[in-house]
Structure 1
Amino acid sequence: MNAIFTDASFQNMMNVANRYGISANAVTDLTQALMKSNGTMAQFYIPELGGGGQWMQGGMTMVGDMFNNQLKNTVNGLCIELSNLINQGAIQYVPLPRLESQNGSQCGFSSNWWGDLGIPNSTGSQNNTNYAVFSNIGRLAIQENGKVTVFDTLDNHIGGVGQQQGGNYSVTFTSQYGTVNLSSLPIISGGEDRPQPQQVNNNNNNNNNNNEVQNQALIVEEPAPVFTNNKSDFEEDIFVKIEKLAALKDKNILSIEEFENKKVDLLSRL
């Protein structure tokens, strides 16, 4: 997400950086990774923090130097503090600028490529694809190759975005249910170039059949999406499952012992 933090937010981030003795760039990159999921998880590559790593709310921390417990504790502490600040509203991006009409009234964002949907809850871009999430009205707008498609997000609460490995779009979104399958969401506008269901005529040559049977059209369903055997997708699925187990533990549905056993089992598959 190409966005700038407010001055107060940046100062709060620098306070955390100073306490842990890390650079401004490192804490900024880590905060941006956390902002994609509203502070619940982060996937990052920060050389100062051991390279590639992942953190998930509920107790899961992974770093490149897996046997460096001091580094794990540092990353975990950083993520917890930054996540708390995000949830408290103490870390925010600078709002997009507004335009003013001739009478001086505000008329929306200056870069509202998404049309008249209003004010988005979050915006960003990845791989030359722009996106805007409108949680209040349940809409997701995607701009790719100059064309805008607006989806109905149904009951998905989109909280994360990442890189897609194949498919119609170069980005993938996550909600409380895991990865959002865009092909399953209703298109509100802009889906003209998306492949439509084909129709084939099932004409019966038997003269004993009536004209209604002869002209019956069969709708061919779109093929189910083909999932690539991609290691990063598999790892992300493991972490999503651990996050769901952590939520069950927090609600006392799973005991701490049951949660730890299942977490160890899932991590052993990586």
Structure 2
Amino acid sequence: MGQQIAQTLSDRHGFSVDAVAHMLQAVYNGNGSMAQFSHPEFGGSGQWMSGGMMMLGDMFNQNLKYRVSALCEDCARSIAENQNGTQSGVFQSQSQSGGSNYQDQTSGSHGGQNDLFAPDPRSNWWPQELGSPTASGSQNQTRYAYFANERRLAVATGDDVWVYDTLQHNIGGFSQQQSGDGSITFTSQFGTVSLATLPVVSRNGVPVPPPQTVPEPAPIPEPVQQPFYNEPAPNIAPAQQPAPSQNQPESAPANPSQNPASSDVFETIDRLGNLLDKGYITQEEFNQKKSNLLDRI
């Protein structure tokens, strides 16, 4: 029935079914007489009260104000016609500035029964062993459920359900970046903290082991600088000659008279002297040959 009413009002007022369902829930939370809402199709955050009071984030858009006011009146009329129970419990609505972000958060439980709002088929999407959440909600395409006693936080993005260990954090709210990487942050007694800092416990029911620390690589030793080819060779002392043995006599200086070559020279000079005496050679020739022979010694 709720889907049929949302579709009918969507066709009538020109808003999407998602936006109409959001307004139906807001008017229902205000017991059909008021609503606090936050949706990009409604100009961001706004308030409506039966009797003509309407406040929009886009305050100068009179056409949009008229359309949203008419939608709220029809939502209140549809709720009154189909309501067969009363609502109890606590509902908290949180809105983010920027016009393109909205977030609904519920805490506690709703009593009574209302045929207008069928159970959400995505309800109880978190692991059932965690029990009932302390708070649950959604923002854009992300759903979350916080379990304070179990110190666990379940986050659904698309078809994946991640469960985080909340450590010492007492979570009180969530937000998601609308630009950049769309990262999720939460607030606790320690301030604003990124969701990426929490350890992942499981993904789609499968435990996720803690990340292993990778040892740092050993430092690479500096290369030894080799000498250039034109560098002078190191000064190496020449090898010392072995000292002469004491038992080995030192060699005496050479005696020309004991040299065999000297004996041949003197014999040749004697023969030349005989030739000179016999007149075979002249004195000049003798002196020249003698000088050459003596040079050989």
Report the TM-score when normalising by structure 2: 0.35
More relative contact order, 1 or 2 (CA 8 Å, 6+ apart)? 1
Report the TM-score when normalising by structure 1: 0.37
Q: Which has the larger radius of gyration?
A: 2
